[in-house]
Chains A and B, each alone.
Chain A
Amino acid sequence: MLSIKNLTKIYDGGVKALNDVSFDVPQGEFLAVIGLSGSGKSTLLRCINRLIEPTDGDIFWEGMNIAKANDDELRLVRRRIGMVFQHFNLVHRSSVLTNVLSGRLGYVNPAMSVFNRFPKSDIENAMKQLERVGIADKAHHRADELSGGQQQRVGIARAMMQNPAIILADEPVASLDPVLAHSIMQYLEKINKEDGVTVLCSLHFLDLVHRYADRVVALNNGQLMFDGKPDEIDDEKFKEIYGREAERVG
């Protein structure tokens, strides 16, 4: 159970990106986070693994307060939380295999990893993860030779190398061809259903939310506007979340 209590983030310029947000996520849930651009979705996800330092509030997980963890504890937490990014965030000049293996960095012996040496079991596991997302043949290509969809699959394989309990997916399909969106979402769904990994996924398209999410939280201007099942979002709720001008598409 991931439990977020009164989370607040105020950026240096005084912008309040998150305002007293609280909700719980049971283990194994597929939670969609929706809201307009700039509503605080990315900030929320990044506060959970402290890529962004929250200004105030607590994040309880497995008996620990992530928001107050020191550097060593934070590394132990981070290695159990995988992250998938909108722009894939692969290291372009490294091989696909190295990118996937970098998911193990929190586990391996730091001295060995300095010389780019990974245990055999990790390399086998990396190949297995690449097979699972269907691009094992690209393992020795440079990451930037791959198409966008393939790069995102590498991103998912990297996150899976962490043996994660939670995956944070920050708009994983927003920079992809809409046709490819479903294939990426299906991988996340498979990870969620088969491995029991909690998925927190921010999404733009409501049809994707309806199709994949167990539950939805909606943010507007840093405030939690909605917390419930996807079918509970009626036209009135929709206008609350996205503003009066918004029109439903798809």
Chain B
Amino acid sequence: MKKKRTLLHSLGVGLAVVLALVAYAYGFQVTKVDLAETKSEHRQEQLTRILRALAHPQLFEYDTEDHMVSLPVMVPCPDAGFEAPTPTDTSEPYITMTPACAEPRAKVMIEGFNFEPYGTGPINFLPNGSDVNLQIGKIEADENGHFEVEVRLSNRPSEEVQEIQAITRTKVGAPRWTQTARDTWDKIVETVFLALLATTFGTLLAIPLSFIAARNLMKDVKNSLLGMSLAILFIPVGAYIGILISKWLSTLSQNLTSSTLLTFVGFVLGAVITWWGIRREMNRDEDSIANQKIARGLEMLVIGLIGVLTSYLLSALAMNVGEYLSEHLGSLGFLGRFIRDLGDILGMAIGVMTALTGAGILSGFASKSALKLNRKADGVIHILQIVLTAAAGAFLFWLIALVLNWFYQYNNYQALYWWAVILGGLGGLALGIFTKPRQTMPTGLVVYFAVRTVFNAIRSIEPLVWAIIFVVWVGIGPFAGSMALALHTIAALGKLYSEQVENIMEGPLEAIQSTGANRLQTIIYGVIPQVVPPYVSFTMYRWDINVRMSTIIGFAGGGGIGFLLLQNINLLNYRAASAQMLAIAIVVAAMDYISSAVRERYV
């Protein structure tokens, strides 16, 4: 029995080895491995050439000075013979030719003395009656400044005395940065900041998303079917109301911002009122809250509206001040433009925030009403549930149809909407009828899977590909590149972060929950303190990745040093490309060092 098993075992191993060999053989075949190419002399010469070019990054250049030494020669020899004049001063550089005269295209010996040690340069033949310099040889002086080289004379016979010149070129003065080096510097700075922005924005968005992509936090989020239907019906309405309010306040603020002074006064006034209102709301005790619900709600609404309006004024103020500064600060104008852009970002963010707040308020309202309705008798709940679930199903499918229509532009959209509404309504009706009243639905897990799926989809597409989409949107340049990297960062970090949330100790979470804390409080007091070290670590690692990624995002038009590198490679300008590769290597190595230092400190 045992023997049989060993035999089978060895057969299995043998088969595995054969299969592996076949797999690698096929791999060689499809990757076109060709060892003869690597050995051919021509290819090796090419390799040497490119490696030497890469080893000489084009960083410095010098001013040069030419030293010229000339010698009169006769080509061909005259009948009377020709004697070259003896050098006047044998301590200065001079050249001789042996013989002193020769036939055209004859081989002669040129010898030089007292040149710069190891000096190099051309040996030129200057024919009579023409301005051309014909190079006939090269100077390669030894350590004593002596050289000896056999050259072939040019085919320019003349009766007159002609001239041979030896020119050596010496570098004078201090080395200067080449244009390549300066361009490389500009682009590498752009690259580093591109990565910084992408990492910052990616991280800021990934942190909140990571909590709803964590299974351990989401698996307990359950709603009754009634609550779910109410949420589906109310949340889009809330978001829509939020958008309407933000649009209205935005127009209102535009009317108010005719002068910067007025904007400033309005902003200060609004800020004071908002601050005072928030303080007032926060310091209320529980009892008075229960008594005057409506009055308090109205008060909060007014304060909220003033707050939004104030934020719009701040945005307008920042844009005005930034514009002014960018025109008057000269070389520091980019600071003004930054303030202006921050104002612009704030303006856009307010709209999103108001929509989210509107959605949040109405979803809270939905869950409160669901709690109230769920106290009624089973029959009443069941009927309500059937009606609301059908309505919610129809509404949800209608929204999906809207999105589909936007993408695919079906012509027959009337029918599409009707079909969606009918299908969704029937589905909701069935769900409502067959679900027991008060039975909970795992809404948390649904959200979890949805977010995870989106993360995985975005993450599986490389930033290089995203860059192409963003280039179409905002044009070629680092802005497109940083957006592409930011998007990929959100997805990648969102996944990594959420896995860290899933790895935390359950105990403290349980303890915080047992004190009666709500979900947000549980995350802030139980989860966040536990995930700070891995979050810092992953963020640094991602910055590292983004720096490396941003060096090539330019290949797809995303700005940074990649574009320059690609250009020089395509132009076969390997010495310039080498300068860019060197810059990338230095930045990546520095990044590696910095990130490990930061990680050591905070983790």
Residues on A lying within 8 angstroms of B by beta carbon are 49, 51, 70-72, 75-83, 85, 87-94, 98, 102-107, 109-114, 116, 155, 158, 161-162, 168
Contact = CB atoms under 8 A, between A and B. Distances in A.
Nearest to B523: A114
Interface stretch (B76-84, B157-165, B506-514, B570-578): B506-514
Given A70-B374, A111-B282, A90 B511 contact: yes
Interface in B494-531: 505, 507-508, 510-518, 520-521, 524-526, 529-530
Contacts of A51: 510, 513-514
Contacts, number: 91
A89 B510 contact: yes
A82 B515 CA distance: 7
B511 A109 contact: no
Contacts of A94: 525, 529
Nearest to A79: B516
Max chain A Cβ within 10 angstroms of own Cβ: one of B507, B511, B521, B532: B511
B374 to A, nearest CB: 7
A79 B515 contact: yes
Nearest to B513: A51
B69 interface: no
24 contacts: A49-B514, A70-B371, A72-B371, A78-B514, A78-B515, A83-B511, A85-B507, A85-B511, A89-B507, A89-B508, A89-B511, A90-B508, A91-B512, A92-B529, A105-B512, A106-B515, A107-B516, A109-B282, A110-B521, A112-B282, A116-B524, A155-B511, A162-B516, A168-B514
Max chain B Cβ within 10 angstroms of own Cβ: one of A49, A81, A91: A91
A213 to B, nearest CB: 22
Contacts of B513: 51, 78
Contacts of B508: 89-92
B516 A105 contact: yes
A110 B520 contact: yes
Q: Which 10 A-B pairs have the closest CB atoms?
A: A106-B516, A79-B516, A89-B507, A105-B517, A89-B511, A78-B516, A83-B514, A93-B529, A91-B508, A75-B516
A113 B514 contact: no
Contacts of A168: 514
Nearest to A108: B521
Max chain B Cβ within 10 angstroms of own Cβ: one of A70, A77, A81, A161: A70
Contact of B520 (A72, A77, A109, A114): A114
A85 B508 CA distance: 10
A87 B517 CA distance: 20
A102 B517 CA distance: 8
Contact of B529 (A91, A104, A106, A114): A91
Contacts of B530: 91-93
A102 B371 contact: no
A103 B530 CA distance: 18
Contacts of B521: 105, 110, 113-114
A105 B525 contact: yes
B176 to A, nearest CB: 53
Given A79-B516, A112-B282, 14 more contacts: A78-B515, A83-B511, A83-B514, A85-B510, A85-B511, A91-B512, A91-B530, A92-B508, A92-B529, A93-B533, A102-B511, A105-B515, A113-B521, A114-B520
Nearest to B508: A91
A75 B524 CA distance: 17
A126 to B, nearest CB: 13
A75 B517 CA distance: 7
Contacts of B518: 75, 105, 110
Interface string B107-151: 000000000000000000000000000000000000000000000
A139 B530 CA distance: 19
A102 B514 contact: no
Nearest to A80: B516
Interface in B250-281: none
Contact of B515 (A70, A71, A111, A158): A158
A82 B514 CA distance: 7
Contacts of A106: 515-517
